[in-house]
Structure 1
Amino acid sequence: MSIRNIKKDHLKEHASVELVTPVDLPPLPNHEDPLKFWTQHETENMLVDLTVFAKGELTRQRKGGSWVGSFTGRPQLILQMAPAIEKVTFGYVKGSVRQLINSMRCWWRLLDTVEQAATMVGQNMDRVEDVRLLSRVHLEFVHRSGMRTEMYYPFYRIVNATLKLHNSSGLHWHPPENPDPKRYLPPEDQVKSLRIALKQEWEKVRQCWAQSDLVCANGFKPQTEKESTIQKHWQHFVKIQESSGRALPTTDELREGKGKGVFLKSTGMGILKMRNIIFPSRWEVETAFHLCLANTGWNPAVLSSLDACNGYEDFLQDHPRDPDSYLLKGTKVRAGGKEQLVKGLWKTKAGPGFIIKTWLERVAPLREQLKTMLVTEKIRYSQMVNEGASADELTCQLNKIQKIEMGCRSVWLYVSQRGGIEWLRPNSSVGVRLNGKPVTYMAKLIDQINRERAILSEAPISVVAPSDFRDLFALYVWRRTGGNILTLMHTLNHAHLRTTQGYTENNILNAERDSQARTFLDHLFDELDKGRVDITILAHLQRHGAVSKEMEQRLTEFRAHQRSRMGMACKDPFHPPAGIQPESKKNRMCGSQRCLLCKSHAVILPESMTGIAMRVEELNTMRDVLPVGIWLESRFPEELRNGIDILRLFSPDEVLEARTHWAQAIDNGSHYIPGLHIINNLSEAT
């Protein structure tokens, strides 16, 4: 099914006011403080405030997040480092600035720790208020504390930049090493289940939209109670849109001044349901985003950085030589702005091109409302400058403007449960709830999948992070192309083949080996819990999966069979066929053991190859030493043909090695052919 093209002219009438010419902001507020400066980034210009490192932080000041501990202030040290920090952070985005600040907090605590340790042992140590006082003692504490490289390097670079500004030699310290990252890729059957689940969730989203658009079309007459409910909510929402002039009215506007309980009791309508009929929710945007990740091989940062402020024509276009296809272009900032290309068919409803185009059309009124808000806030900023507002007030207003600008650029707009226009952010991971607790989208989706897999007695899928989708996509391409590294290089948009080689080794081959080892250990401990270690069962679990009860019963019966000297199993050794042992008596075991002639009782085992090869070489020797008449009158030729035919079931190299071994053993007398002397004596007597 496909989403119908429903005209929504009512949204265009009041989704936004007429936009004025973009407002140019006045100069940035000047704090006149050497510890406060701007990063001068084009879109994420951030105020860097180093005051906390001068004053210290003895109690928790920030709400939310994690607080590792207190540290004392070092005013001279931070003043000395501030020029280098301002120079290094020029052009930094907010994430890079936060990483630097976190690194400095970690080092400030370490400096306190070193000085406290020196005091405890009675040694005099100058308080570090100059970078030139850093010594090997501090490096020793770095390694002893287990500091990670992402906390070590930002501060280390600032120190060397500061030393360079003071014409001093830089530090040449041996950095700490992070433990090797543990990459876990689920088995292919689990990856397939995950991809199917994502497609199914996206199809549910499309079906929900299609039904809402159909019911909300002008002139539609509801046929069911559900359709009547949807239409009732939609009509009320449209009425408030027209009266408020906003595509997304506030909660108070939707309730028309009534309280929550009064509104629900008098109308029977829910505010959240109203919004979800018109605009996407957090679950829906997460579904679309993760399905695009699964089908592009991009990192989450690349997919999040698509700039949709002016529509999608800048990054999503028809293929120049194929109108049925599209080209999706992303930019990888960490690769120096390298372009990431994805080609697909417009008709593929689960493809990234179709998803992004459909999404942008759905949230277009929200984007227009954000643009209107942006113009209003920029005008407000200019007014604050003219009114002589403080630098801190201007900074707060500027941060608000930058936040709205980020929303205007983002593809992934949605409406939150609180009724605000929100968008997915690269560092925003927890957005849905599972059993009352906030979790990631993938955690909840995999929980749903595992509930279904548990019913089928299938192994559960471990949690997959958004960053893992690039590895899963690479593994998929690697499998489909038979390990073609050039195709993988093109798919991952790598500039150099050596990059793809390293990526393949670290993220695919090593992951496969780790997965195999992990799976074997899981199976081993499961078997130990059952009080057994069965090599055959372990091998089957590792290669093919679960062992059913029927298979275990067959294995038990199979092992109960007795073995002949050729390593073949016998279904009933006490009742051999008359053609094999005519003089057999009741309860007398088969003595001839000519298993290659016994089709009714003989069972060929994987380990029977060596014994069959032995019998074939015995028969070859007997053919050479016995008279032709006796050979032809016996069933030895048939037995030899059967043995040669059975050996074709095994590896040719292993068969050749085994036959050569037994032929040499017979020639040098180390192997004796049973019954050969009796046959020779009979032939001489006749």
Structure 2
Amino acid sequence: MSIRAYKKDHLKELAPPLVAVEASAAWTSSSPIDDLNFWTQHTKYPVKVSLTIFRDGEDKRANPGGSWSGAMSGRPKLIAQLAPVLKELVEFASRRTVDKYYHSFRTWWRIFDALDGKTKPVETVADLTEVHRQYAVDQGMHRLAFSNFVRVVNLARLSEGLPQLHWFAPEREEQKRYLPPEWQTKAIRLKIKHEWFSALFRWDRATELMSGSAPANTEEQRLLANYQRFGSLYSELEPVLPNSDELRGDLAPWEFSGRGLSIPDMLRGRFPDAYDIRIAFHLCLATTGWNPSVLLDLDVTKPFIETHPKDPRRYLLRGFKARGKSEQLTEGLLSSQGSAGMILKRLMKQTEVLRIEVKRNLAEKAKAFRLLQKSNANSEVLDNARKELVKLEYVARSPWLYVTAQTGIAALDAASYHRRLDRENKGSFVQQVVQVINQTQAPDRQITAITASDFRDAYAAYAYQVSGGMVLFVMKALGHRRVSTTQRYLKNTLLNESSQGLYRTFSNALWHEVKFHGRVDPTILARWSRDGEPTASDRQRLEDYRALRRSRIGVGCKDPANPPSRIAPNFRASGASQCNVHRCTLCEENAVIFPDSLDGLCKRQAELEHIQSTISVAAFLESSFGEELDNTRKALACFDPIAMDTALQAWRKAISDGRHRVINLEGA
């Protein structure tokens, strides 16, 4: 029976089309394909799936540089049953999804090998028993590896008319997220930012030197000689990167280097290299909080940067998170060269001519591939040609192009973005940056290890702190669809320690207030939690401010019985009478503005604007209303602009509708 009613890979519905070349159309009938060897139909990242190792077994490491958990036996009947089901499930899957199924199958194959001789050997899906499930759980099998295999097995058993396996998967492991202190992530981000600006300066300075600017020193003279030699062999009209032999020309290697010539320097003056592109990528990770896959999936053939609809000084950067089918959105200033949007714009401009060459190569390879198909070439030749086409298509649409003397034009991908360039040591590219920073750090200020995904955790922690602990704010900042996902991000060591410390402080302050003052004051508790124990003068100042009389515009007055004569010239102090003018923003001596004074200040500004529109210009200039209006606007500048504008518009409308009457008080 068919299993097409079951949900396929999450990218099937929303995957965008390939770049406009004819290679994809030819792939539908590449080579003889069976259930054990086939290509996925993912429109961006098709991948070759070969299940023959599960039929024939594996007795040595497949990839010399990869990890390996040991040999496994072949089970031809079992894989013959599972292969058609897996083929349906990964029909539109990316490499990441396929790799998860590979890992799951390998893990279970080794489980079966371990139990051979102790129980009936597993030859078909009908041979699976509770013993195999329990052994897998006892061996600590990962939940995903367990579930993926059981899913395929149950679909295969269904097609065979067998009952399904109601196996409970291992419990989800509670992951501990270790996040370094904020000062450490800030130091890494600052270092990466400095390196990016160094690359910008290098490209701009190379352009200036090639345009006739005089070299400032002997090093710039040497670099200019490199740029000129490269420029003499490279034309942007017909961009084809010269190879090493063409750049060296008739010069012997010793003579070439003796003249200060360097192929990497020639390329780095015009294009990003492997180091530059990783710096740019990680800076975008740090400033957006996006997953690496979202940045890697950006497609230059589609617009993903646009001017902000409400502010022409800002931009919106849009990405798409395939897992969860959610749009990722961030914004920044168009004037900031260190923001993600401007980094991407500069990279695409700097590598535009490289992309032209890649597209030309892609068209040639697609044509050659179609000729191979017509010639009935063997499957291995066709598969290799197709893999090359898939790689070129990815490079053609990627904004992360770079060039090196060894590999030519390439693009960062999921397998290379975190790869360190310092091959003498192990670790990731970020760890390489950390090691450089630690060389100048004091022994007690060494930065701990960090990964690229930690940038997203750090971004979440920052959003949590600046929002005052609002999970929904973090959820929006990270582009999550479920609060539970956001909560997992916030379960890291940094926020846990911060929360525990805050709880201890709050708890101690609460019982201290009850014991020594006989009450619980929310303001005092907030001061304890934020700044430590309040002093006696802090408490007295709070009481004094709370005892202040409020004017009609919500501003406190230190001495309402004695207003300045310049504000209330007709006031006569009697000990009982109080200021009836309430022009508080003119009274620097007594006025105290509170956080809740916003509405009253907006009311007064609307009143002053109305007075200005109803009296002559000369009368307004001769009065103190102008000064009062300026002071009121300055006071309102300290409040949230959106809340201020809302309240101001409400009072203006109330005055125009006649619901609020403006009284021309003393001082006019």
Same fold (TM over 0.5): yes
Contact 1:104 1:155 in 2 (8 A): yes
**2:289 paired with 1:297:** yes
| SS at 1:42 equivalent | coil
Counterparts in 2 of 1:429 and 1:353: CA distance versus 1, 3 Å: closer
Q: Rg: which structure is higher?
A: 1
1:575-633 superposed Cα distances (whole Å, 9 cap, x missing partner): xxxxxxxxxxxxxxxxxxxxxxxxxxxxxxx9xx99xx9xxxxxxxxxxxxxxxxxxxx
Q: For residue 276 of structure 2, what is the amino acid of its counterpart?
A: E
1:508 aligned to which of 490, 495, 498:
490
Contact 2:21 2:366 in 1 (8 A): no
2:232 aligned to which of 239, 243, 250:
239
Equivalent in the alignment of 1:183: 177
The separation in 2 between residues aligned to 1:461 and 1:321, in whole angstroms, is 40
Question: Within 5 Å, which residues of 2 pair with 1:457-468?
Answer: 458-468=444-454
The separation in 1 between residues aligned to 2:236 and 2:470, in whole angstroms, is 60
**2:536 paired with 1:648:** yes
Question: Within 5 Å, which residues of 2 pair with 1:118-137?
Answer: 118=118, 125-137=119-131
Percentage identity across aligned positions? 31
Q: For residue 388 of structure 1, what is the amino acid of its counterpart?
A: N
| SS at 2:441 equivalent | helix
Contact 2:358 2:392 in 1 (8 A): yes
The separation in 2 between residues aligned to 1:278 and 1:243, in whole angstroms, is 11
**2:354 paired with 1:362:** no
Counterparts in 2 of 1:171 and 1:381: CA distance versus 1, 3 Å: same
Equivalent in the alignment of 2:59: 58
Q: For residue 170 of structure 1, what is the amino acid of its counterpart?
A: Q
CA displacement at 1:199 relative to structure 2: 2.0
The separation in 2 between residues aligned to 1:444 and 1:148, in whole angstroms, is 30
Counterparts in 2 of 1:438 and 1:242: CA distance versus 1, 3 Å: farther
| SS at 2:43 equivalent | coil
Equivalent in the alignment of 1:249: 242
Equivalent in the alignment of 2:3: none
The separation in 1 between residues aligned to 2:417 and 2:171, in whole angstroms, is 27
**2:187 paired with 1:198:** no
Equivalent in the alignment of 2:459: 473
Equivalent in the alignment of 2:5: none
Q: For residue 224 of structure 1, what is the amino acid of its counterpart?
A: N
CA displacement at 1:168 relative to structure 2: 1.8
Counterparts in 2 of 1:490 and 1:142: CA distance versus 1, 3 Å: same
Question: Within 5 Å, which residues of 2 pair with 1:411-560?
Answer: 411-434=399-422, 436-454=424-442, 458-496=444-482, 498-499=483-484, 503-504=486-487, 506-508=488-490, 510-512=492-494, 514-515=496-497
* Most deviating of 219-228 and 127-136: 219-228
Counterparts in 2 of 1:65 and 1:260: CA distance versus 1, 3 Å: farther
| SS at 1:209 equivalent | helix
The separation in 1 between residues aligned to 2:70 and 2:383, in whole angstroms, is 28
CA displacement at 1:236 relative to structure 2: 0.9
Contact 1:244 1:253 in 2 (8 A): no
**2:313 paired with 1:324:** yes
Equivalent in the alignment of 2:547: none
The separation in 1 between residues aligned to 2:23 and 2:140, in whole angstroms, is 50
The separation in 1 between residues aligned to 2:89 and 2:341, in whole angstroms, is 38
Contact 1:250 1:419 in 2 (8 A): no
The separation in 2 between residues aligned to 1:432 and 1:20, in whole angstroms, is 33
CA displacement at 1:181 relative to structure 2: 1.2
Equivalent in the alignment of 1:70: 71
Counterparts in 2 of 1:52 and 1:24: CA distance versus 1, 3 Å: closer
The separation in 1 between residues aligned to 2:191 and 2:307, in whole angstroms, is 29
Computed over aligned residues only, the root mean square deviation of the Cα atoms, in angstroms, reads 3.1
Contact 1:132 1:163 in 2 (8 A): yes
Question: Within 5 Å, which residues of 2 pair with 1:5-44?
Answer: 22=22, 25-26=25-26, 27-44=28-45
CA displacement at 1:144 relative to structure 2: 2.2
CA displacement at 1:32 relative to structure 2: 4.2
Equivalent in the alignment of 1:273: 265
Question: Within 5 Å, which residues of 2 pair with 1:380-399?
Answer: 380-399=368-387
Equivalent in the alignment of 2:219: 226
The separation in 2 between residues aligned to 1:134 and 1:438, in whole angstroms, is 41
The separation in 1 between residues aligned to 2:430 and 2:307, in whole angstroms, is 31
The separation in 2 between residues aligned to 1:463 and 1:21, in whole angstroms, is 43
1:182-229 superposed Cα distances (whole Å, 9 cap, x missing partner): 201222222322222222222222222222221122x33334212211
CA displacement at 1:140 relative to structure 2: 1.9
Equivalent in the alignment of 1:315: 304
The separation in 1 between residues aligned to 2:324 and 2:416, in whole angstroms, is 22
The separation in 2 between residues aligned to 1:85 and 1:385, in whole angstroms, is 26
| SS at 1:278 equivalent | coil
| SS at 2:278 equivalent | helix
Contact 2:267 2:404 in 1 (8 A): no
| SS at 1:323 equivalent | strand
* Most deviating of 240-249 and 197-206: 240-249
The separation in 1 between residues aligned to 2:123 and 2:315, in whole angstroms, is 58
| SS at 1:431 equivalent | coil
Contact 1:282 1:432 in 2 (8 A): no
CA displacement at 1:452 relative to structure 2: 2.6
CA displacement at 1:423 relative to structure 2: 1.4
Equivalent in the alignment of 2:141: 147
5+ unaligned residues in a row in structure 2: which ranges? 1-18, 517-533, 541-668
**2:335 paired with 1:334:** no
The separation in 1 between residues aligned to 2:335 and 2:228, in whole angstroms, is 32
1:208 aligned to which of 202, 205, 214:
202
Equivalent in the alignment of 2:156: 162
Q: For residue 186 of structure 2, what is the amino acid of its counterpart?
A: K
The separation in 2 between residues aligned to 1:433 and 1:192, in whole angstroms, is 22
Equivalent in the alignment of 2:649: none
The separation in 2 between residues aligned to 1:186 and 1:102, in whole angstroms, is 31
Equivalent in the alignment of 1:530: none
| SS at 1:175 equivalent | coil
The separation in 2 between residues aligned to 1:430 and 1:300, in whole angstroms, is 10
The separation in 2 between residues aligned to 1:649 and 1:289, in whole angstroms, is 51
Contact 1:25 1:378 in 2 (8 A): no
The separation in 2 between residues aligned to 1:72 and 1:258, in whole angstroms, is 57
| SS at 2:168 equivalent | coil
Equivalent in the alignment of 1:94: 95
| SS at 1:432 equivalent | coil
Contact 1:292 1:351 in 2 (8 A): yes
CA displacement at 1:404 relative to structure 2: 0.5
The separation in 2 between residues aligned to 1:239 and 1:307, in whole angstroms, is 32
Contact 2:78 2:125 in 1 (8 A): yes
Q: For residue 376 of structure 2, what is the amino acid of its counterpart?
A: G
CA displacement at 1:39 relative to structure 2: 1.6
| SS at 2:87 equivalent | helix
Contact 2:115 2:121 in 1 (8 A): no
| SS at 1:418 equivalent | coil
TM-score, normalised to structure 2's length? 0.69
CA displacement at 1:47 relative to structure 2: 2.2
| SS at 2:368 equivalent | helix
5+ unaligned residues in a row in structure 1: which ranges? 1-18, 119-124, 521-538, 544-605, 614-645, 653-686
Equivalent in the alignment of 1:49: 50
Contact 1:36 1:49 in 2 (8 A): yes
Q: For residue 493 of structure 2, what is the amino acid of its counterpart?
A: A
| SS at 1:71 equivalent | coil
Q: For residue 359 of structure 1, what is the amino acid of its counterpart?
A: L
The separation in 2 between residues aligned to 1:348 and 1:226, in whole angstroms, is 29
Contact 1:363 1:413 in 2 (8 A): yes
The number of equivalent residue pairs is: 498
Counterparts in 2 of 1:243 and 1:139: CA distance versus 1, 3 Å: closer
